[in-house]
Chain A
């Protein structure tokens, strides 16, 4: 996926900074979306991701930085002149217009001049243009399966139908970039998955540049070509969903991505080994002896055995969570009282709960090591799992 890295950005945000009063909302943020790419901007609420999207759209001012669309600097251009389309969380459909009129509106505003938009006489002067608009709207409605809803007002539509109309209004113009601001968060869970798949399908067909803002990591990981993780007004990592999950650059990224959360254990480096108490958690750590690090490992990286094994620690099972396809065991280490979460096979769920004590082990080559600054510390040998996948 890095082959086209030197290709010019279809949508580029370069060094964007913004603050409200003394509080910095965006701190020198850069992000580029390549041609035909779907990038998800994910982060907790209040991290500045929606602000960044609105700056890209031209709806909000910023103090420094540039916005570039297909090579053209549009930093000072108004939203109406940027040729981008936006999908809003609240749908933002015009309630007094029918679905058809809502979808047609961007075309009406762009293709018809002021006089042709006049009621009564306008339609007489622009019959050919209006026929073209009508056809484009019909095509879009057809691709979204909302043809039968076109004459309804937004108030007569369900949430999912409204969001489809809003999508129609965005794609009917074939803009240079789509900006989506949490378009699914007002929908219920089942509908969310359905519309999510529709958006991915639309993107695959049209291949339009998409920047998609969400607080839902599952959405981001499942939909996007690349994921940008944003925390506290800064983008901490941009990468494929697999990279962001398996090789987080930063402790905060590791903590934010992944449900249940990654297990984190404080450790000290000795001769390249990161150890917590007697347990050896990471090997070949490129850090000086005695430095404090945080070792992270995902719940699926823990191996549980009934018998003691080398470099395994004794744990007590606090609680077992059965989730259908998987089960989670909440553990507490006997020696230090650390809490850990391990993913186990659902078939083991009932058996494990009854055992007085177990032994937990992690592969010291598969763990992630973070320094005190939060950055991930490289390993001297590239044995880490996942690196080979990405290369």
Chain B
């Protein structure tokens, strides 16, 4: 007679696998319900001509995507978004770094400066929009009064199609700089002071040399993160457009999210809006992938 004191190895492994699935189940269910299914639903809707309020819908396949490719409005929204991102992301990253360096180098009122520059991040952009509308007003706005004092012509920032993206970009940068600054401040405080001392002893006399030798390389993992976050946030520009320009004038400030909103919530074309949303997410994913692949190789030291 043999007594099995321990269950067989294969049995133990199966028990463990079952236990693992049971422990993961709550998370898996929630992830499916909240993340995977909604995403799949958007993809599914994008293949139909569904409209909100109408129960009658047909499967159209990829025709919505084909239409988007030829749609001049969508192309313009795409281009406008690219210009906006091209203005806001680099500027907010560089200004965020500059502010962080200045605050870190200073000795007094650091908490004050940190809070002040972080204010736009926590402020309601829709409410602040009215302030910006006043600031950028072509006749009474202080910004144009300043330009006038400098002998430059007044600019109707939000009112002409040539400048509206620049106007929105200025607001976007104003809003994003504080967040990047806080991230860079965290990155700066984690740099080993001994590295600066070593750099000084090794002969890096100027602040620029020490920045090149220590600060910039040590911050590069943070820079990768800041760039990624800045691109994602600026691609998602919506509130300022909705509050200040409504895509105008003459659709010069129509951006991707604004187009999706118009299509889905104003014209109630759920199918088309879903297709746009899928394209939007795909573009974002490609951007992030390219960034991390290209930059990550250069920033991983550990």
Contacts and interface: CB of A to CB of B under 8 A. Distances in A.
B162 interface: no
A71 to B, nearest CB: 21
B278 interface: no
Interface string A53-76: 010011100000000000000000
B197 A96 contact: no
A88 B205 contact: no
Interface in B218-260: 218, 220
A155 interface: yes
A217 to B, nearest CB: 24
A94 B214 contact: yes
A84 B201 contact: yes
A274 interface: no
Contacts of A81: 205
B204 A59 contact: no
Interface string A1-44: 00000000000000000000000000000000000000000000
Interface string A119-155: 0000000000000000000000000000000000111
B301 interface: yes
Interface in B144-198: 192, 194-195, 197-198
Contacts of B192: 90, 92
A205 interface: no
A57 B201 contact: yes
B67 interface: no
Interface string A97-122: 00000000110011000000000000
A95 B301 contact: yes
A85 B201 contact: yes
Contact of B197 (A86, A93, A94, A154): A86
B236 to A, nearest CB: 32
Contacts of A57: 197, 201
Contacts of B204: 80, 109
Contacts of B201: 57, 59, 79-80, 84-86, 106
A215 interface: no
B202 A169 contact: yes
Contact of A106 (B194, B203, B214): B203
B16 interface: no
B13 interface: no
A287 B197 CA distance: 50
A191 to B, nearest CB: 20
Q: Which secondary structure dominates chain A's binding surface?
A: mixed
B302 interface: yes
Contacts of A169: 198, 202
Nearest to B197: A59
A78 interface: yes
A26 to B, nearest CB: 18
A106 B203 CA distance: 6
B209 interface: yes
Interface residues of A, number: 27
B221 to A, nearest CB: 10
| Chain B: interface size category | 10 to 19
B198 A86 contact: yes
A196 B198 CA distance: 21
Q: Which secondary structure dominates chain B's binding surface?
A: helix
Contacts of A153: 301
B301 A106 contact: no
B86 interface: no
A155 B202 contact: no
B282 interface: no
A347 B220 CA distance: 62
B200 interface: yes
Contacts of A89: 194
Given A96-B217, A109-B204, A110-B203, A88 B301 contact: no
B213 interface: yes
Contacts of A88: 194, 197-198
Contacts of A79: 197, 200-201
Nearest to B208: A114
A85 B201 CA distance: 6
A391 B46 CA distance: 97
Contacts of B214: 94
Contact of A80 (B205, B220, B301): B205
Contacts of B205: 78, 80-81
A85 B197 CA distance: 11
A78 B205 CA distance: 8
Nearest to A170: B201
Contact of B302 (A54, A84, A85, A155): A155
Most buried by A among B192, B202, B214: B202
Interface string A290-306: 00000000000000000
B194 A109 contact: no
Given A79-B201, A86-B197, A109-B204, A96 B209 contact: no
Nearest to A60: B197
A279 to B, nearest CB: 52
A80 B200 CA distance: 5
B215 to A, nearest CB: 11
Contacts of B209: 109
A111 B257 CA distance: 55
Contacts of B217: 94-96
Most buried by B among A58, A95, A110: A95
A95 B202 contact: no
Contacts of A94: 195, 198, 213-214, 217
12 contacts: A59-B200, A79-B200, A79-B201, A80-B201, A86-B198, A90-B192, A94-B213, A95-B302, A96-B218, A96-B220, A106-B201, A106-B202
Given A79-B201, A81-B205, 8 more contacts: A54-B197, A59-B200, A88-B197, A88-B198, A92-B192, A92-B194, A106-B202, A106-B203
Q: Which 4 A-B pairs have the closest CB atoms?
A: A109-B203, A92-B194, A92-B198, A95-B301
